[in-house]
Structure 1
Amino acid sequence: MENPVIIFGTGGLGRAALEIFESNGNVVYGFLDDDKKLHDTEIDNIPVLGKTTDQGFLKLIGQKCEAFVATDDSKEKQSIANTLIEKRKVMPTNAIHSSAHIAKSAVLGHGNFINANVTLGAGSDLANHCILHSGCTVDHDAKLGDFVQIGAGATVSANVELGENAFVGAGSVLVSGIKIGKNARIGAGSVVIADVAAGDTVFGNPAQKVDA
């Protein structure tokens, strides 16, 4: 990546993204955040420039800067991504840690966060705006829809399909070939051995449906 990056969001995900970009030798131009108290301050020596809607900085994106949206709130992320697409005709860039292992045949969309020691197997397919936390594994031919979140140390086995906005808690194991529906939630440490319907929450070993 030749252009510097503007990071939308100053929370934990924003700081993690900063470390990823800097570890890859990328320059981070600054943060944008809607909390006015943070404006004109610095986070890890990087300035908070203004609001996420500041046209003075938005106009740089796509010409002189790339953008990364660092929030785990899917609605907020979608809103910012739509602004970038509609007004700047660009998609957010990926933040990929240098220690991640990504198979040559893996397919990546845009705006994905891939942290340290993540493994993406052969033929795995990530859509857009996914969050893969440290040490998780997405095995061969698994498919993740938009806005999927995978917790630290979780294992998504081969040929698993995860629908849009599905959430997989830290340390969970999803056995091969199952399907997880849109907006489904997997509790931390669960072992999922059967399909999970859209919108359902499951937990345990083996995972069972619980009230959300």
Structure 2
Amino acid sequence: MKLAVYGAGGHAKVVVEIARQLGYQTISLFDERWQELGETEGCQVIGGWQDMLSHLASNPDCSAHVAIGNNSTRLKRLQTLKDLDVKLPVLIHPKAYVCCSAHLGDGSVVMANATVSVGSSIGLGCIINHNSSVDHDVKLGDCVHICPGVNLAGEVQVGHETMIGIGSCVIQGIIINDRVFIGAGSVVVKDVKCAEKVYGNPAKSP
């Protein structure tokens, strides 16, 4: 199996490790800093975004993954790849648990020791990071980033391009809207408006 990965930073290193665990034998990396990076996790960084598109066009059997942390940029890149009908597999670490009734959108990644529980729906290009828990009937929009150690209780809804910081907790039934930033270690006990930044216990705007 072949995989082209856009991004060659820390997040991409984790993605490469998961891809190898899943049996991808040929992994090619692309990043705008390719000339200075040279190699990441034993994989050659061979060009930028346009080079990746050319690579995919000449290798129709190659899948792709966008391994960058910026939610907005990741969404734009993924939408371009979907428009080109590029295969965007879901990458699930063998040590993660994803319930059979959960739905994961194209291009999402679930890292080691994460849990995605019954009835959950995960959007396009989401990141479910190490040791995080997505409980029953949670709904995540596109390109949500769930950082390590986050706990989302049942029936939580999270809007597009939202970032939930490391070690945060969200109580049951909360609605977090689009493009929200939740600071590390926060406890979210009430709904959060679009593009709001909140942190603390209880989480609130500065």
- C-alpha displacement of 1:103: 0.5
Give the aligned length.
205
Structure 1 CA distance for aligned equivalents of residues 163 and 71 of structure 2:
11
Please give the per-residue CA displacement for 1:126-152, whole angstroms capped at 9, x wherever unaligned.
011111110000000010000111111
Structure 2 CA distance for aligned equivalents of residues 35 and 27 of structure 1:
24
With 46-55 and 108-117 compared, the bigger mean Cα shift is at: 46-55
Map of 1:31 onto structure 2: 29
Question: In structure 2, do the counterparts of structure 1 residues 178 and 98 end up closer, same or farther at CA, with 3 Å as the change threshold?
Answer: same
Q: 1:18 aligns with which of 16, 19, 33?
A: 16
- C-alpha displacement of 1:36: 4.1
Map of 2:71 onto structure 1: 74
Moved over 3 A (4+): none
Please give the per-residue CA displacement for 1:55-82, whole angstroms capped at 9, x wherever unaligned.
5412145x22100110011232233223
Structure 2 CA distance for aligned equivalents of residues 52 and 149 of structure 1:
22
Counterpart secondary structure, 2:204:
strand
Structure 1 CA distance for aligned equivalents of residues 45 and 100 of structure 2:
36
Fraction of identical pairs, as percent: 33
Contact preservation (8 Å) 2:2, 2:26: yes
Map of 2:45 onto structure 1: 48
Counterpart secondary structure, 1:204:
coil
Structure 1 CA distance for aligned equivalents of residues 147 and 16 of structure 2:
19
Please report the TM-score for the alignment, with normalisation by the length of structure 2: 0.93
What pairs up with 1:112-191 in 2 under 5 angstroms? 112-191=108-187
Structure 1 CA distance for aligned equivalents of residues 9 and 159 of structure 2:
26
Q: 2:80 aligns with which of 67, 79, 83?
A: 83
Question: In structure 2, do the counterparts of structure 1 residues 36 and 186 end up closer, same or farther at CA, with 3 Å as the change threshold?
Answer: closer
Contact preservation (8 Å) 1:135, 1:152: yes
Please report the TM-score for the alignment, with normalisation by the length of structure 1: 0.91
Structure 1 CA distance for aligned equivalents of residues 174 and 65 of structure 2:
31
Please give the per-residue CA displacement for 1:73-106, whole angstroms capped at 9, x wherever unaligned.
12322332233223x3125222211111000100
Counterpart secondary structure, 2:89:
coil
Contact preservation (8 Å) 2:66, 2:78: yes
Contact preservation (8 Å) 2:157, 2:176: yes
Contact preservation (8 Å) 1:105, 1:122: yes
Q: Give yes or no for the alignment of 1:108 onto 2:97.
A: no
- C-alpha displacement of 1:42: 2.4
Contact preservation (8 Å) 2:158, 2:175: yes
